[in-house]
Structure 1
Amino acid sequence: MKHYHVPAVSIALIHNGEIEWTKVYGYLGADAVKKADEFTLFQAASISKAVAAIAALQLVEQNKIDLDEDVNTYLKTWKIKNSSFTEKKPITLRGLLTHTAGLTVHGFNGYAQTEELPTLIQILNGEKPANSPAVISDLVPGSVWRYSGGGYVLMQQLLEDVTGSEFPTLMQRSVLSSIGMNRSTFELALPFLWPEQASIGHDSSGKKISGNWHRYPESAAAGLWTTPTDLARYLIAIQKSLRGGSKQVLSKQMTEKMLTKHLGDWGLGPALYGDNDSLVFGHTGGNEGYRCLSFSYAYSGEGVVIMTNGNDGMDLIMEIKERREKVFDPDHRLDEHINKYSSPNEVCLFN
């Protein structure tokens, strides 16, 4: 941990569909004043996308959104401008979830505590104070796989327009509370007393991020605060739904659709690899000052979540993975996906 300038690492291991153990090492910050524990919060970064996808698929099950309908049909406050690309094929929820919608903007840098936050519309338009370019269509939908955090911002707007609820409220009601993720929130401002239990983000030199962490109004793409234990509950809920043993979040049929491969070996939210009994779903995340990984076998009931509060945390995660590989990655397949999907904005196994 010292070598990688990572003050804290928190781990939850899943075995036979249950949380077998949790381990936490280090401190909330590099000052080593307060120890981290199993209740310590971390930014989940792009793992947020896989969790947010659940809410979208619930609306599909409720017949409020069609996976393959033009999303402009449902959007009210902002619509995708027609182009030569969308004339050939419309942008759909399926495309947004699988990163095949042909939309731009890979990831987001977040906003310091002193910076003005943009609205969702300003982010989509690339207008100040947004610090990211406009989300536009520059590829024929469905033609190629290209990771797009911008697509998930559009999905966030879609969910708000369809439900009439603010995204954090919708997620709390329909997903987080249902799963029992009681130490998780998509709120930009952490609830009362939670800031005292939040880990502080650190750069690659071990220096804390100004203001302790950045804020991400691109909530569906990068805004979840959570713990490894809560993310393990999310993974287990999907495992149970897939077996038909629980409709806690989705039906068995919808869960099967979610874990069906599309272009880029991507499902409706999570990344996928392997097949049949060896099918794996997961995601990684990389916000400023945080790196994390979630990884689960769909049918065997095994999985792991590792969260850190340092920009070099993925190197530490890989070292932990190598020591635990016999448990959750005996074939070294994780390395292949981290190398394939790594990027400067968001470090990803599947990001």
Structure 2
Amino acid sequence: MTRPSTRAVLAPLSGAIALTLLTGAAPAKPTTQWLARPSEAARVAKVEAGLTPLTLPGEAPVALSLQEWMALYGIPGLSIAVFDRGELVWAKAYGVKQAGGDAPVTLDTRFQAASISKPVTALAALHHAEANKWSLDEDVNTRLVSWKVPENDLTREQKVTLRRLLSHTAGLTVHGFRGYAAAAGEPVPTLKQILDGEKPANSSPIRVDILPGSRFRYSGGGFTVVQQLLEDQLHKPFARVMQETVLTPLGMKDSSFEQPLPAAIAQRAATGTRDGGESVKGGVHVYPEQAAAGLWTTPSDLARLALEVSKAAQGKSRRLLSQAMAKQLLTRQPPGTFGLGFGLPGGTRFAHGGANEGFRATLLADSATGSGVAVMTNSDNGSLVFERILASVAAAYAWKDYTTPAESPWVTADLIARRRGVDATIAWFRAERAARPTEQLSPDVLNEMGYILLKSDRKDEALKVFEANVSIFPENANAHDSLGEAYLKVGRKAEAAASYRKSLALDPKNANAVKVLEQLGAATK
């Protein structure tokens, strides 16, 4: 089955002013805090006023403020930093740190950066590779001490190297991690338990199952191996390695890889929020997979990091990397589309997104111009506003060659559901499918919506969406599998078994269907 992917005292800027404004939100009235050069005030207003309007089929476009978009998507808090021509020019914070609370997000409120941890880790790994003369192309098992990548026929033919780990081409398993609700009593595994997939780890063993160097496949597991390598070679805890190597040298004073955060720092952290608006169990998840997902930070600190990468690439700084190494960092590593840690969306831009439980973040920068933006939110829905914010910043700062992606069918379907209800979404989807059959509308659109509704305990609406999906896509095995899961959630076991059997008939390799049918004591045919 496919589940949804979804999406204080301030240090002043040079010549900057700090202003505090009331949002007027009821019943709580959190402040919207921002910091900007006086000359930027007009462009800040332009960014806020320039968000792509809400456009639904059959309706005139409606302009919404950022706060209104946040309310529509149930995003409690958001923080943004914009940098231009090599300098951080403004930062602003909106909303509250916890859903239902009144403590405002401030410029030093820490969010989970999630997978943006990976390029930050890459900077540290490349710095130490240069300093200690590690080859990016040697077998990492020659550097690993307390654990080694298990050998098999694939690794005997091609080796797992640091270059391949940082560019997601090492052939390692485990896409991402869901963390641990430690505050709610869930046990947290050691790094070695995670690497070997041993309880209480909730992820599979990290192993090579694709020929190293043969193709790109995103792997949080690969960065967990990098975490072990840095600890083995430097004889320090990973959080300390990152603090000494990257965070302190770059002045990232509101950042830490400590998991969990110490109590004094945790008071300034946001609480994660699920799709349905409730807080993450225990407030936040703990990520012992620090290299892959463990960074707590602010948009302003991410801006400082991106500015350093740009300066290194331009030969204007060697605080972390030489210009030659920075250029390797920002060069696509074959056969993939990533550099060494960063995604490279085109031109001289580099980027990465992040998605932890209850948090979403994005970072986009241009190494040639020293411009970019970082946005962080405490909501699973945070990514739904990112494209609008990026497009508005790009327009306000006249970024060249920036193309706003067309609104996806998923975004349209989701907006219809929020404004008109689930029935209207299903009707629109059926009409689109009938009108444009060659465009191959994906069953994943309704499938993802169904799971979000299911997680929000809106079971009746979820069932309606899953049932519509199998009606529209009767030959899609995953749609039937997901409908079976929904039936199980509401206790309709006979119908669940029928759905799983249909899924298995369409896809005989569906191990999940076999497993559930066995648990139900139901026949597979």
TM bucket (normalised to shorter chain) is: over 0.9
Counterpart residue identity of residue 299, structure 2:
P
2:202 aligned partner, one-letter code: N
Greater relative contact order (Cα 8 A, min sep 6): structure 1 or 2? 1
Quote the residue 2:206 is aligned against. Answer: 135
The answer for the alignment partner of 1:273 in structure 2 is 345
Q: Distance in 2 between matches of 1:255 and 1:332?
A: 23
Match of 1:62 in 2: 131
Equivalence for 2:178? 109
The answer as to 2:278 corresponding to 1:207 is yes
Q: In structure 2, what is the equivalent of residue 21 of structure 1?
A: 90
Task: Give how far 1:264 is off.
Answer: 2.4
Cα gap change, 1:328 to 1:248, in 2 (>3 Å): farther
Are residues 328 and 149 of structure 1, via their aligned partners in 2, closer, same or farther at CA, if it must alter by over 3 Å?
farther
The more displaced of 73-82 and 58-67 is 58-67
The secondary structure found in structure 2 opposite 1:283 is strand
Aligned residues: 336
Contact 1:64 1:162 in 2 (8 A): no
Q: Which residue of 1 aligns with 2:166?
A: 97
* 1:254 and 2:325 correspond: yes
- Kept after mapping to 2: 8 A contact 1:302/1:328: no
Aligned with residue 313 of structure 2, among 235, 242, 252: 242
Is 1:147 the equivalent of 2:222?
no
CA distance in 2, matches of 1:172, 1:272: 26
SS of residue paired to 1:286: strand
1: CA distance between counterparts of 2:283 and 2:354?
18
In structure 1, distance between residues paired with 2:275 and 2:148: 39
Structure 1, unaligned runs of 5 or more:
345-351
- Contact 1:304–1:328, Cα closer than 8 Å, also in 2: no
2:208 and 2:103 mapped to 1: Cα distance?
46
Q: Which residue of 1 aligns with 2:249?
A: 178
Q: Secondary structure at the match of 2:199?
A: coil
Q: Is contact 1:279–1:299 with CA below 8 Å preserved after alignment?
A: yes
The letter for the 2-side match of 1:234 is L
Deviation for aligned residue 1:287: 0.2
Task: Name the residue aligned to 2:71.
Answer: 2
**Do structure 1's residue 309 and structure 2's residue 378 form an aligned pair?**
yes
Correspondences of 1:67-78 after superposition (within 5 Å): 67-78=136-147
> What whole-Å deviation, never above 9, does each CA across 1:58-96 have from its counterpart, x for those lacking one?
111113421000001011111111111111111000000
Give me the whole-angstrom Cα distance separating, in 2, the residues matched to 1:329 and 1:214. 36
Match of 2:389 in 1: 320
Shift of 1:332: 5.2
Say whether the 8 Å CA contact 1:303–1:328 is kept in structure 2: no
Q: TM-score, normalised by structure 2?
A: 0.62
**Aligned equivalents of 2:83 and 2:228: distance in 1?**
33
**Corresponding residue for residue 261 of structure 2:** 190
Tell me the C-alpha RMSD between the 2 structures: 1.7
Q: Which has the higher helix share?
A: 2
Q: Secondary structure at the match of 2:362?
A: strand
Query: 1:280 touches 1:296 (CA, 8 Å); kept in 2?
Result: yes
Tell me which amino acid in the other structure corresponds to 1:171. Answer: M
Aligned equivalents of 1:323, 1:296: Cα separation in 2: 15
The equivalent residue for 2:289 is 218
CA distance, structure 1, for counterparts of residue 263 and residue 376 of structure 2 = 22
Note closer, same or farther for the CA distance 1:291–1:328 as it changes in structure 2 (3 Å cut).
farther
Equivalent residue, structure 1, for 2:80:
11
Select the structure of larger CA radius of gyration.
Answer: 2
